[in-house]
Structure formats: C-alpha cells, structure tokens
Chains A and B, each alone.
Chain A
Amino acid sequence: MYPEDLKYTKDHEWLRIQGDVGVIGLTKHAVDQLGDIVSLELPAAGDVFNQNDSMALVDSMKATSEVYIPVSGEILEANEALEDEPELVNEDPYDAGWLVKLKLTEPAQVEALLTVTQYLELIKKEG
C-alpha cells in the first residue's frame, strides 16, 4: 500500500525520483480520506512552484482539497488521463493515478522528505 522506493510528505503526497524528473501523486491514505475523487484542477506544463506551494485542487464527493508540491520545480506534464477518469487516483494512486511530472530545481530538498517508515508512523499517529 505504501511503496518503499517513494518519498512522502506530511500532507500525504508521494514523490518518485526518476533521474532529475520527479513524479507526484497522492498516497493511499490521502485517497481513502478523500473518498471518490470526481475532478482535479492540475497545473499546466511550464508552471513553476516553490516547495509547499499549492499546485492543484482535488474535488472529491466529500470535500475540495489543495495539493502542496513536495519540492520546488517546473511542471513538465500533468496526467491528462485524469480529465476523463479522475477515479484512477482512487483506484491506482501510485501508478495510473499520478498527478504531475516536474523538473526538480532544488534536488537537495528530496533528502528531507519522509521515508516510508516515517510516513507510516505519521499516519499511525493521525489514526
């Protein structure tokens, strides 16, 4: 449920590093809390964000939530499949349900993100 090769944030996003490109998504815990996701407002290629900026909005049946970017970077691509199939985020949060790819501008930020062990401890504490 929580892949070991990913980095996590306290806001329940994950980051997968592929060279100097990062892929960002929502954790299983996040999508379980949100419930059915019905639409997403994702950033466009070229948008530039600083770490922890709000980069996207996620609408679920229950609530609208902001997604904060785990590391600084420039958006390369948003997951277009989510336009027609937002439920992919619920069904496959670590693979088909990814949100954006970005070019990291400050790769050193990755080190300070949570490991899977730290993240599991966090969600255990949150109950």
Chain B
Amino acid sequence: MKETPFHQMHVDAGGKMVDFGGWDMPIQYASIIKEHKRVRSDVGLFDVSHMGEIEVSGPDAYKLVDLLIPRKLEKLQDGQIIYAPLCQHDGGVVDDVLVHRFCSDRFLFVVNAANKDKDFAWLKRIRDEHVPDANVMDLSDQVAQLAVQGPNAESLLKKLFSWPLEDIPYYWFKEFRHMDAKVMVSRTGYTGEDGFELYFHPRVAQYYWDRLVKEGGIMPIGLGARDSLRLEAGMALYGNDIDEDHYPIQSIGWAVSLKKPEYIGREALVKAKAIGITLRLKGFEMLEKAIPRHGMELVAGEYHGTVTSGSFSPTLKKGIGMGYMPTSFKVGDTVEIIISSKPHAAQVVKIPFYKRKEN
C-alpha cells in the first residue's frame, strides 16, 4: 500500500490505519466525533498528501485548461483558485478538481487520489488531441499536503509562521519560502470551516508536522471526520455523489457554465439540459433515529435510488445524507431510506446541512 510522508507520524499518534483507495491512511485517532467537533470549534490537521497534483504549463497552458474546465476562466487571476468538474465528452464527470493559476502559462490541478492516474491520462489525451504546446506533469510524488481547518486556523498558523495570511482571501493562494523550501498556502478546504491547505516538498514533512502538532498542539484528524465534516458542509465526494454516470449539472451545477462557448463535454451537457434533467442530487435528514449510509436504498415516491453519502451528523445530532431524486422533490418533502430492510422516514432539506457563522 502507498504511504504519505506522514505515515509514521499517524501510527505514532495512534491512528487507526485503513486502506483508502490503495493508501494506508488514518480513518481516526481516538474518536471521529471528538475530531469532528474539534474542527468545528477550534482547529484540526489533516494529512491530505494522497491527493494528486498535476501541473499544466507552457505557451498553450491557458488554452488547455480553458478546454478542460466548464467554467469561465477570464476572471481567474494569478494567485486565484477555481473549483470545477472535469467532464468527459459524454458529459460524465472524470473528477472534480481545484485549479490554481500561477500565471497564464502555469496552472496546478489538485485532484482526488483515486483519480490521479486517470486524470493525468485524460489531461495528456486532451492535450495531444487539441493543444500540443502545453506540458502536463504529474508532480504528486514531490508534493506533501496538510490541511489546517477550523475557526482558529488562521490565528494559530500566524502564531507559528510569519506568513501574511490575512492577504489570502477565500480561494486564493500565495507561495512563500520557508526553511529553504517553497510552501504554497491556499485558503481552501473540505470541512465548511475557514482554513488553509499547505503544499510543500516531502523532505520538510517532518518539520511541518512537528511545528503544527507538537508546537502548535493541533489535533490530527482522520478521514472519518473529514467525511462527516464535508458532508455537513454539503460538499460532494467523487465516487459517491458525483461520477462518470451523472452530469455535473445534476449535482454541482453552480460549477458549470452552459454559456461558455467551448469546452470538453459542453455539447452533451447542453443536450441533456434541453432534454430535461429529471434527477438531481439533494440532501435529506432523518426524521427517525437511524443513520443513512452510502449505498442504502432511497425511495422518493415511485423512484428508487441510492444514498450516495450518509452519516450521523455530530453537529445536528441526527442522520443526514445525499442522493439523487426526482427534481419534483422539494425541501420538506418526505422520502424513505431502507435501513436494515425497514423504511425509515427522512425529509428533503437544503444543502449545506451546516453553515459556519461569519465573523
């Protein structure tokens, strides 16, 4: 199994290691709920070094990125980040990614670990077919990544490092030199809290872990809480909520522009929209004491589908989930989740389930 540069630190911290898409990762340390609550109330540290990093550079880098991303890129500035799906020609989702713009001839894609090889091949294929004067490089082995998330993330990082984090707005990033190595710091995350993601070379991994965990006292958080945090925040998980079999306009439609004149998959999406979208990804919360989980049957009137993501919500103290259901189902409507062969009532609710208070 693959290991991140922080593997030994997880084991030493009592992490329960599990196979996560071929990576030996901590699902939790002592308690998913305690870790979840710590991120909501204070700050927590996530090893997300399994994520992939692919660089697109060269004279035609912008052209290639513009062809791959179904959102308008004109306004994306140097130092800014955009979230988007990568679409297949048939409109299905290859992956959902963060695109960092350094300048018009250099971009960095941060992609899901399980999709990294597929994404890399996809970017190269589109490059070869359409925009030969661009380089596509897999940098994943040269990049370690930590996410520092929670309402106290900024103040704690400022105490530990001298970076001007107040100059980094949401979905922007800056590069600093620190300990004779580059570090890229972005105000992004997958928890619904304020927070930052740090990218640096694996050789300084031990240094950052020691500063953040030992000196800063930040609690390490496992993948279990990462999942319950992102679900409360209504963020889609590739492989669960979005995939090759669904159009992104059924789920993360806000991250797709049909007005943009040209990109891979546009034709299929425009056609699908014209025919009419009948199923959409929606959120629900349980009305009964039961916990929905990924793969369970979801019944919405005549429609039988599945729960794409489900969990107990430590913040709301009830079961919450998402799933595709007919567009006619609105907030307040009742659906049923089949748990242990018995239907349990749930109610369609607005996503996100949880929204942090703005300062």
Chain A residues within CB distance 8 Å of chain B: 35-36, 38-39, 41, 57, 59, 61-64, 87, 90
* Chain A residues with CB below 8 A from B61, complex form: none
* Chain B residues with CB below 8 A from A61, complex form: 32-33, 224, 228, 311-312
Instruction: Tell me if A35 and B291 are in contact (CB < 8 A).
Output: no
CA distance A51 to B8 in the complex (A): 45
Residues of chain B in range 270-315 having any CB-CB distance to chain A below 8 Å = 289-291, 293, 311-312, 314
Given contacts A59-B290, A62-B224, contact A38 B312 (CB under 8 A): yes
Instruction: Tell me if B289 and A41 are in contact (CB < 8 A).
Output: yes
Instruction: Tell me if B224 and A35 are in contact (CB < 8 A).
Output: yes
B328 at the interface (CB under 8 A from A): no
A91 — nearest CB in chain B belongs to which residue? B31
CA distance A35 to B312 in the complex (A): 13
Q: How far is the CB of B191 from chain A (nearest CB, A)?
A: 16
B28 at the interface (CB under 8 A from A): yes
Given contacts A59-B290, A64-B291, A64-B293, contact A39 B224 (CB under 8 A): no
Q: Which 5 A-B pairs have the closest CB atoms?
A: A61-B32, A38-B312, A36-B33, A59-B291, A36-B32
The 0/1 profile, CB within 8 Å of A marked 1, for residues 14-40 of chain B is 000000000000011001111000000
B339 at the interface (CB under 8 A from A): yes
* Chain B residues with CB below 8 A from A90, complex form: 31
* Tally of contact residues, B, Cβ under 8 A: 17
B340 at the interface (CB under 8 A from A): yes
CA distance A27 to B31 in the complex (A): 17
CA distance A38 to B339 in the complex (A): 16
Task: Pull 27 A–B residue pairs with CB atoms less than 8 Å apart, ordered by A.
Answer: A35-B31, A35-B32, A35-B224, A36-B31, A36-B32, A36-B33, A38-B33, A38-B291, A38-B312, A38-B314, A39-B291, A41-B289, A57-B340, A59-B290, A61-B32, A61-B33, A61-B224, A61-B228, A61-B312, A62-B27, A64-B290, A64-B291, A64-B293, A64-B339, A64-B340, A87-B33, A90-B31
* Chain B residues with CB below 8 A from A63, complex form: 293
Chain B contact residues, majority secondary structure: mixed
* Chain A residues with CB below 8 A from B289, complex form: 39, 41
A39 — nearest CB in chain B belongs to which residue? B289
Instruction: Tell me if A35 and B340 are in contact (CB < 8 A).
Output: no
CA distance A87 to B30 in the complex (A): 13
* Chain B residues with CB below 8 A from A62, complex form: 27, 32, 224
CA distance A39 to B32 in the complex (A): 14
Residues of chain B in range 210-242 having any CB-CB distance to chain A below 8 Å = 224, 228
Q: Counting chain B CB atoms within 10 Å of each CB, which of A38, A39, A64, A90 scores highest?
A: A38
* Chain A residues with CB below 8 A from B314, complex form: 38
CA distance A64 to B286 in the complex (A): 15
Instruction: Tell me if B340 and A39 are in contact (CB < 8 A).
Output: no
Q: How far is the CB of A66 from chain B (nearest CB, A)?
A: 8
CA distance A61 to B37 in the complex (A): 13
Instruction: Tell me if B312 and A39 are in contact (CB < 8 A).
Output: yes
* Chain B residues with CB below 8 A from A64, complex form: 290-291, 293, 339-340
Q: How far is the CB of B165 from chain A (nearest CB, A)?
A: 32
Instruction: Tell me if A59 and B32 are in contact (CB < 8 A).
Output: no
Q: How far is the CB of A30 from chain B (nearest CB, A)?
A: 15
Given contacts A61-B33, A61-B224, A61-B312, contact A35 B28 (CB under 8 A): yes
Q: How far is the CB of A58 from chain B (nearest CB, A)?
A: 11
Q: Counting chain B CB atoms within 10 Å of each CB, which of A41, A61, A62, A90 scores highest?
A: A61
CA distance A122 to B311 in the complex (A): 31
Q: Counting chain B CB atoms within 10 Å of each CB, which of A36, A41, A59, A87 scores highest?
A: A36
A83 — nearest CB in chain B belongs to which residue? B289
CA distance A64 to B32 in the complex (A): 15
For the complex with contacts A57-B340, A61-B312, A62-B27, 10 further pairs of A-B residues with Cβ separation under 8 Å are: A35-B28, A35-B31, A36-B34, A38-B33, A39-B312, A59-B290, A61-B224, A63-B293, A64-B290, A64-B340
CA distance A90 to B30 in the complex (A): 11
Q: How far is the CB of A80 from chain B (nearest CB, A)?
A: 14
Instruction: Tell me if A59 and B312 are in contact (CB < 8 A).
Output: yes
